[in-house]
Structure 1
Amino acid sequence: MSGNRFVWQGREYQLQPNVEWDAHYLHGDGWLGEWQCVSHSDDSLCLVYEHRSGVYHYRVSQAFHLTADTLTVTLSVTNQGAETAAIWYRLASLFSVVAANADSGTGERLLGWSGSSAGG
C-alpha cells in the first residue's frame, strides 16, 4: 500500500505502521491480533478476531474442518463500523501465536510459520 494510505469512495485513509521494525503498514492487522477460540472438537476449530481502530471496525472468523483427506477453511468478515468499509482479507501461513508456559501460566508472543504462501 503506497504511502500507507488508500482512497475509498472518495475519502483518503491514512494508516500508521503496525510493526516497530518497518515504516509500512504490513499485511493488515489480523496476523498481529489475539484470536479467540470460540469452538473446537477433534476435527474442527473456529477462531474469531475483532478489530477496532480509527479506520476499521470488523469481526472475522476462521473455521477449520479436517476430514481424512481434506482441510476446509471458511473465512467470514463482518464490517461492524457505521460506514461501508474496504476490507481485504486472505488466508496466509503466518500467524501470531501466544505460547503458554504451563508452569507459570504466562504467555509469550511468537510468530509461527507453516510453509510458503502463494503471492507473498
Structure 2
Amino acid sequence: MNLRSLRIITADIKRLVGFYESVTGLTAKWHTEDFAEIGTASCILAIGSTKTLAFFGGEIAEPTANKSVIIEFLVDNVDNSYELVRNTTDDILQQPVTMPWGNRSILFRDPDGNLINFFTPATPEALNRFK
C-alpha cells in the first residue's frame, strides 16, 4: 500500500488552490474547473469543489468541517517558509519552534480552516528519520 493523495473538498476552489500555490511555491495542475492537484515528490494534494462529491454518491464530505487532521509538508527550511506563510495568512497558530521529537515546525490554517504544519528535521535523530 502507498498513500498517494490527500484530497480537500472546498466550496471555493480557486481561493484554496491559490492559497496552496502561494504557501508551497508549487503550481497546481487543473484537470477540470472543479478539480486540481498540487504534486510533490511523495504525494499529491488534490483539491476538489463540492460539485465533485456527486461522483462519490452525494454529500459525503463537508467543507470547512475538519477538526482532526493536520496536513504536513516537509520543507527545506521552516524559518524561511515562515516568512512566506506570514505574508500569505494571518491565521498562524504556532511560530517556528522545535518540537520534542526533533522537528522544527510552524502551524497555520488554510482559508477553509484546515490545519497545516510545515516542518524541517532539526536534530540528528529527526534527520535520520527522513533520510
Instruction: Point out which structure has higher relative CO (alpha carbons under 8 A, 6+ apart).
Output: 2
More strand by share: 1
- Larger CA Rg, structure 1 vs 2: 1
Fold equivalence (TM over 0.5): no
TM normalised by structure 2 equals 0.26
TM normalised by structure 1 equals 0.27
More helix by share: 2
